[in-house]
Amino acid sequence: MGEVKVATKKGKAVVRGAIVLSISAFLLIAISSKPCASGTTGAVTIDRLKTNEDGGQWVTGGHDWRQSYDSPLKQINKHNAGKLGYAWSRDIEGSTTLEGTPIVVDNVMYASSIAGMVYALNAETGQQLWRFDPGVASFATLYAKSCCGPANRGVAFWKDRVYVAAFDGTLYALNAKTGDVDWKVDTIIDKSRAYTSTGAPYIAGDIVVIGNGGAEFDARGYISAYDVQTGNLAWRFFTVPANPRDGFEHPELKKAAKTWDKDSRWDAGLGGTAWDGMAYDPELDLLYVGTGNGGPWPQIIRSPRGGDNLFLSSILAINPKTGRLKWYYQTTPGDSWDYTATQKMILADLRIRGKLRKVIMQAPKNGFFYVLDRVTGELLSARPYLKKLTWAARVDMTTGRPIVSEQARYWKSPRLIFPNVGGGHNWQPMAFNRETGLVYIPVLEMGQVFALSAEAFSYKKSHVNFHVDLGWPDARGHFDLFCEVSVCPDLEDVIKRQPKTPPRSFLRAMDPVSGKIKWEADTTPNTQDKNRVSRPGGVMSTAADLVFEGYLDGTFDVRNARDGTRLKSIFIGNPIVAAPMTYMVRGVQYVAFLAGDRSDGAKSRIVALRLGGNVVPPPTQSQSAAVAESGASARVGQVTDPTLVNAGRQLFEQNCALCHVGGNAPILIPMQAAAQRQFFDIVLGGIRANKGMGDFSAILSRDDALAIRTYLIKAGREKDH
């Protein structure tokens, strides 16, 4: 066994194993590494990114500065993809919400798991070099302040440091060789609100940038930029204004405030959080930031007199040296549907109408694929990547604005709207292949019943405040609407004359210039779990005309990037939602990805594949989890009180449905008997915090938890019959 260092958030290390073998492992890495463009091993610099000589490495979340999720490697190709098999795996701590793509810098892999935990591994063997824990066990009470669990979408590497944002909003700069903390900074400006950080940091010149989440609760969006060397705050950009009577933190907010009602719900935060996609162009020296939805969701509550509500659901181009805005484009003005523009953005050079344009491309939640000039922000095209899209008819190319349909106005009466709140495309990365000229988008075609909540809006500090009743379709298209029984609409009346509702997932290959879908692969069977269809995993492509994607059912597919033909399907056994990546060590190409745990106790892991590899072994079982779930065959608990059931239904919708119906968390209808027995310890005691289910005792009382449990048991019995 080699040396393993476990770094803590205080920067200290615990050493286990034999130091001699550890030195050998580091020497092996040094010998097999390719020097970077700057001439020093183990450093990522502007020169290294610009020269793009690291095709065999994967130095940013999206491979290179263009964030294309595309690699020039060709050793694995359409002729030999059938020989792809197991190379190595490494068990890691985490949950089903493993959403990051590892990076590889000079043959060392850096990967993040739950809440900001980081692993450094020998990329050839999977041997752990060090592990960093930001204090995940202490985050349990924060999980109730996140719409979708303590996910982490990756790390950034610059010079000789690894940067990661922990779930509690602390940004860490780690020594890349040891995992020790070089510096850390708390990025959260108001601890009384529901702020968390789940996105990857982005490097833009001499700064590292991070945003936050919480728009479904009461967060006011902003991004913070810190000096990469010292951690000192360089600037902060707020994405929505606060009450104009209190002044503006920077000049852009004065302009933004004019697009809000002067009597907006300033107390509720307003949303606009930048929780995921960013990109940086080192040639133009511009930082691109995607912003999120409004909070509360219905504009009629948030900003009663309307307005565009800048800078919600927008792409911002910011000068990273000054923090000043150069241009912006708003994809969903006056957002009322949770249609974020935080999805990954790809930088490319495309020939459009005979002219080579520097563009930025994004497929945000709202169903349209946008191509913008990344120098000026000019809209070049906006075509649907969805076939079911009813909230807007089209995007007007003269004004750049969507033509919102009457069907979208659920504040007038309940409506079935496509896409749902999760969007046609969410955080799962898409890829742009420069060889085929196609963009590969993991798509979910799903509608949702939206209804304005019947009760008067009352702002709840640090609680869910989106104020919409939602109807979620199961795999057959039957809706479960969370609302007060006495005011629930007639669903048959709501959905008549609308598109058919069974959800389906696809991998779609789209020409970004013409907007035409060249091919699609139906991935619905791979994304169906019990009575729900979820979205497919993130995507990666290569210059060998291949596209790679994993799924919730534990399979991993390799397809011909030109026509979608499946060349290889490998059963991994763990759910896969993150995008894979590829790299080369000593002449061997590997494909690697994060694979989450399962409800049966199977551990999360990082899996690497190579040509000539073996059958992938099943994931390691957690003995304690297996014992806890064993013998649980009979349903437990009594359901007798309809008032309690209805209360539980509403509490479940407010606090649980976004993860356990609309996210990647386990489905609770029907609920396993072991979970029924342990329900109060899970919900109020945080005993499954290491799996992403935190302690809700600060939000829910024991009576609340009893009501939710009662509702779930009853709903499960009805589902069985």
Tell me, what's the pLDDT at 221? 98
- pLDDT for the residue 239: 98
Residue 652 lies in a domain: yes
Is 166 in contact with 197 (CB distance < 8 Å)? yes
Q: Which residue has the higher pLDDT, 150 or 101?
A: 101
Per-residue pLDDT at 648: 77
In the DSSP assignment, the letter for residue 42 is: T
The CA distance from 625 to 601, in Å, is 5
Is 399 within a domain? no
DSSP designation for 554:
S
Q: How much is the average pLDDT of 657-681?
A: 73
Higher pLDDT, 639 or 582: 582
Q: What is the C-alpha R_g of the chain?
A: 24
3 state DSSP class of 203: strand
pLDDT at 34: 40
Would residue 676 count as lying in a domain? yes
pLDDT classification of 234: cutoffs 50, 70, 90: very high
CB-count burial class (<10 Å; 0-12, 13-18, 19+) for 268: buried
Domain CATH code at residue 647: 1.10.760.10
Task: Identify which has the larger pLDDT, 379 or 24.
Answer: 379
Q: Tens digit of pLDDT for each residue in 284-298?
A: 999 999 999 999 999
**Amino acid making up residue 634:** A
**Residue 261 is among the residues annotated as catalytic for this protein:** no
Model confidence over 190-212: pLDDT tens digits? 999 999 999 999 999 999 999 99
User: What is the rounded CA–CA span in Å between residue 228 and residue 158?
Assistant: 8
What three-state secondary structure class fits 353?
coil
Supply 177's token pair. 């060789």
**pLDDT at 639 > cutoff 80:** no
> How confident is the model at residue 86, as a pLDDT?
98
Q: Whole-number mean pLDDT of the chain?
A: 88
Q: Is residue 359 part of a domain?
A: no
How confident is the model at residue 632, as a pLDDT? Answer: 35
pLDDT band at 217 (very low <50, low <70, confident <90, very high): very high
Q: At 635, is the pLDDT very low, low, confident or very high (cuts 50, 70, 90)?
A: very low
DSSP, res 457: P
List, in sequence order, every residue forming a beta bridge with 362; answer none if it has no partner.
345, 370
pLDDT greater than 90 at residue 30: no
pLDDT of residue 706: 81
pLDDT of 629 above 70: no
Point out the least confidently predicted range of 117-126, 397-406, 442-451, 710-719.
Answer: 710-719
CA 228 to chain centre: 24
* d(C-alpha 463, C-alpha 218), whole Å: 7
**Domain count of the chain?**
1
pLDDT of residue 26: 35
* Percentage of the residues of the chain whose pLDDT score is greater than 70: 88
Which entry of 168, 276, 281, 338 is annotated as an active-site residue? 338
Helix (H, G, I), strand (E, B) or coil at 118: strand
pLDDT at position 36 over 60 = no
pLDDT of 679 strictly over 60: yes
Judge whether residue 157 has pLDDT over 70: yes
Strand order from edge to edge, sheet including 415-417: 415-417, 448-452, 468-473, 479-481
pLDDT at residue 114 is higher than 50: yes
Q: What is the pLDDT of residues 255-304, one digit of tens each?
A: 999 999 999 999 999 999 999 999 999 999 999 999 999 999 999 999 99
532 inside domain = no
Kindly tell me if the per-residue pLDDT of 35 is higher than 80.
Answer: no
Does residue 667 lie in a domain region?
yes
* pLDDT > 90? residue 538: yes
Under 8 Å between Cβ of 498 and 472:
no
Residue 567 scores a pLDDT above 90 = yes
The better pLDDT of the pair 567, 486 is held by 567
If pLDDT is split at 50, 70 and 90, which confidence band does 486 have? low
Secondary structure percentages of the chain, helix, strand, coil, to 5: 15, 35, 50
63: left (phi over 0), alpha (psi -120 to 50) or beta: left
* Cα 425 to Cα 710: distance, rounded to the nearest angstrom: 34
The stretches of 390-442 forming alpha helices (DSSP H) are none
pLDDT band at 15 (very low <50, low <70, confident <90, very high): very low
Which range, of 133-147, 325-339, 600-614, averages the lowest pLDDT? 133-147
Q: Does the reported pTM lie above 0.75?
A: yes
Q: Which of 309, 192, 333 is nearest to 253 (CA)?
A: 309
Question: Burial, 678: exposed, middle or buried (Cβ in 10 Å; 0-12, 13-18, 19+)?
Answer: middle
Most confidently modeled range among 408-422, 465-479, 595-609, 705-719: 408-422
Residue 275 carries which side chain, given as an amino acid letter? Answer: W
pLDDT band at 9 (very low <50, low <70, confident <90, very high): very low
Please state, for a pLDDT cut of 90, what percent of the chain lies above it: 70
Residue 54 confidence (pLDDT): 67
CA–CA separation, 548 and 120 (whole Å): 24
| Amino acid found at 1 | M
* Range(s) of the domain holding residue 681: 631-720
In this structure, is residue 103 part of a structural domain? Answer: no
Tell me which DSSP letter residue 667 carries. Answer: P
Q: How far apart are CA 529 and CA 253, in angstroms?
A: 44
Nearest in space to 562 (alpha carbons), one of 581, 579, 541: 541
pLDDT digits (tens, 9 = 90+) for 364-391: 999 999 999 999 999 999 999 999 999 9
Asked if the structure places residue 681 within a domain, the reply is yes
Structure tokens at 619: 């994931």
